[in-house]
Structure 1
Amino acid sequence: MPRSPRPLTLDALEPTEFKFDLPDPTNDHIEELEFQQKIDQAWLVCDRFDLQTDIWRGRILRAVREHYVQRSSSEQQKLGRSFLNWLSDREISKTQAYRLIELADSADTLLEGGHIEPEDINHFSKQAFVETAQAEPEVQQLVSDAVKRGDRITRREVRQLSDDWTAMSSDLLPEEIREKVVDQTIPTRYVAPLVKHLEKLPEAHQSSIRQAIAEQPDLDTLKQATGEARSLSRYLEAAPQVQALNDESIDIENALDEAMRLGCLNSAAELVNQAAQLETAIVKLYTTWKRVNSLSGKLYEDTGASTPHLRAMLKSLERLSSDSLEFYFGDPRGDNFSHTIRVKLEDDRETSID
């Protein structure tokens, strides 16, 4: 019978000193610049150490997961172990575990793709590394070039490089705007949001916005076009979800054109968006009300004179379990601004949600 491997203890590990020479926060004679430089240096070391540790934790978790995945359910039952059991023993949530595994997968993808070398990880902040792994391959290459120059890569640098790529590569921008980006007359951070919203629009709306900024390629026009594209995308995304607009006599596109002609596109888009949210809220209210009603009925059947406090609680909740809901908006005691809201719910068929 093979011997069990000896458990690894802290004493078996090579001791490593993790210590900083932090500036004395009570020293009134230290220069502010010197203090900030020392603090920033210590912070960067922690950030780098945290990133590398989490990548290896993700690899460990991935190995454990694959170890149990290869075993059948019957084998796992025989062992009395599974991946979730393993996580539970170490007080690691499933969400946390898969986030670390995703980070490890991202690291391996960047390394195997040749975008970075193992030592390059030290140039990244943790969030910047994650965003780089999720970025387009062209952006990853730009980040790689910046790392090779010795640049420190933070979340801001990744987003800036992503904006640069979007502004220079998108076919949705007119040539007049591209020229402004090249000569740095218009910063790329104003161009990227416009492209993202334009990508959601039909060709007809894209063309009208492109024409407007081509005729007047300045920053104010660009900002206005971005706002219009944002409102258009919100309107077109929300309108099909609103049941109240399913009437065949309503022409959503013509209504949109009229709103644009009157200069009230943003209000129309917000109205449609709020209507979609209201319908969703009504459905959630109804299902929750049915659940409250069902539970109240069951609890009432299980109570009696021996449970006066439970009966008192049920009595108080009748305003929420009956057909007519009643609750206060604001201060229920009426000392400050408040008013009562009443909602009547009716169902064309009787159902029970257990």
Structure 2
Amino acid sequence: MVELAPSPEAITAALEIPADINFALPDPADEEIQEHEFQQQLEDFWQLCERFDLQTEIWRGRILRAVRDREKIGGEGRGTGFLNWLKQREISKAQAYALIQLANSADTLITEGQLDPNSINNFSKRAFVETAKADPEVQKLVSDAAHNGDRITRREVKQLADEWTAMSSELLPDVLKEKATDGTVSPRHLAPLVKELEKVPETHLQALQEEAIASPDVDTVKYLTTSARNLSKYLDAAAKVQTLKAFPLDMELALQEALRLDCLNTAADLLKQATQLEQSVGKLFTTWKRLATLSDRLYVDTGASTPNLRSLLTAIESLTQEVIEVPLDEDGNNTVRLKITCSDGLATTGTTTNQ
């Protein structure tokens, strides 16, 4: 799809800041300037720099996009021309695509009518990027605020995003939404709770919601956010631990006991570490087999004429045997020995530590 170029009016509004900036900064040694006036002048200049920087990067992104698209249409060498263009200007590929994304976001917001070009200069650079990443409803709220002349920073974007998240979620009880409306509970506390509740299965939601209704205050919201986070971690990790499938274990009852003892966080971390250990063992076995294969191949390719390569194979032999020995320090005083055995295609390990 061909992207629409911004109108001349939009370009004029977006680039109304002169390219040649020469600020008359206040003299720090001038005692006649009041402190608040000194700070205000510097703040005004700083905001002007941010707006100019934002416009510059949007246009740099549009330029880079044009170079890239031209290369796609008629270039040779799979983007070599684009990469050479970046190299000449000392721009990394990651930086280039970040600028292109920024330009795409700007054009999309303007084209879809979510952002008035005349309001762009009310944004800080980071606020604009955050707005481009936000949900359409949040973009509309931010754009309306900018159109009304409000100064938009990342803080304002986050605040509006939190308000929308809290007030639009069906997972929050109405009593908490009422608290957010009257200012008793800040949306910045409710937004994390909503995000965690979205991860919790419906079978566990009701208990959390009932607790929120019983005590609709900030402390309860923080507690429920942590509880919901630990609950989702527990359930997610429990589903991944393969070792648990070999035992007649009721994970739901174990969960209830963890909740009763207020040790759900510990149980969740336990399962997370178990998952990581299983994955590490699988990766260890694959790497061990690959190392042994490469060692055998190199042994076949070497002989008496390559004594140093043979010495290399001898040096790493302890890593290719059934018992792997790995020193934990430079002195070799602490060594871990892992015994790998295969049964029905599966790897198991036995571990000893020599200190």
TM-score (norm 1): 0.80
Aligned partners of 2:107 and 2:215: how far apart in 1?
A: 46
**Alignment match, 2:340:** 345
Deviation at 1:264, TM superposition (A): 1.8
Aligned partners of 2:229 and 2:125: how far apart in 1?
A: 31
**Alignment match, 1:4:** none
Residues 64, 83 of structure 1: 8 Å contact kept? no
**Alignment match, 1:151:** 150
Residues 237, 271 of structure 2: 8 Å contact kept? yes
CA displacement 1:77-121 (0-9 Å, x = unmatched): xxx344344224422544333332222221112112222222322
The percent identity for this pair of structures is 53
Deviation at 1:126, TM superposition (A): 2.3
Aligned partners of 1:44 and 1:292: how far apart in 2?
A: 57
Distance 1:165 1:296, change over 3 A: same
Distance 1:16 1:188, change over 3 A: closer
Aligned partners of 1:227 and 1:164: how far apart in 2?
A: 20
Partner amino acid for 2:82? W
Distance 1:288 1:151, change over 3 A: farther
Tell me the secondary structure at the aligned position of residue 256 of structure 2: helix
**Alignment match, 1:11:** none
Superposition map of 1:269-284 within 5 A: 269-284=268-283
**Alignment match, 1:49:** 52
RMSD: 3.1
CA displacement 1:163-198 (0-9 Å, x = unmatched): 111122211111221222122111111111111011
Distance 1:23 1:304, change over 3 A: farther
Aligned partners of 2:51 and 2:250: how far apart in 1?
A: 56
Superposition map of 1:53-64 within 5 A: 53-64=56-67
Match of 1:333 among 320, 325, 331: 331
Partner amino acid for 2:335? T
**Alignment match, 2:129:** 130
Tell me the secondary structure at the aligned position of residue 345 of structure 1: strand
Distance 1:151 1:306, change over 3 A: farther
Aligned partners of 1:302 and 1:31: how far apart in 2?
A: 81
Partner amino acid for 1:119? N
Superposition map of 1:163-174 within 5 A: 163-174=162-173
Aligned partners of 2:312 and 2:240: how far apart in 1?
A: 39
**Alignment match, 1:108:** 107
Tell me the secondary structure at the aligned position of residue 327 of structure 1: strand
**Alignment match, 1:5:** none
Aligned partners of 2:318 and 2:84: how far apart in 1?
A: 42
Deviation at 1:143, TM superposition (A): 0.7
CA displacement 1:207-247 (0-9 Å, x = unmatched): 11010110111222111111110011112222222211234
Residues 71, 81 of structure 2: 8 Å contact kept? no
TM-score (norm 2): 0.79
Residues 123, 152 of structure 1: 8 Å contact kept? yes
Deviation at 1:256, TM superposition (A): 1.9
Aligned partners of 1:139 and 1:125: how far apart in 2?
A: 17
Tell me the secondary structure at the aligned position of residue 342 of structure 1: strand
Deviation at 1:145, TM superposition (A): 2.1
Aligned partners of 1:123 and 1:341: how far apart in 2?
A: 60
CA displacement 1:227-273 (0-9 Å, x = unmatched): 11001111222222221123473333332223223322111111112
Tell me the secondary structure at the aligned position of residue 334 of structure 2: strand
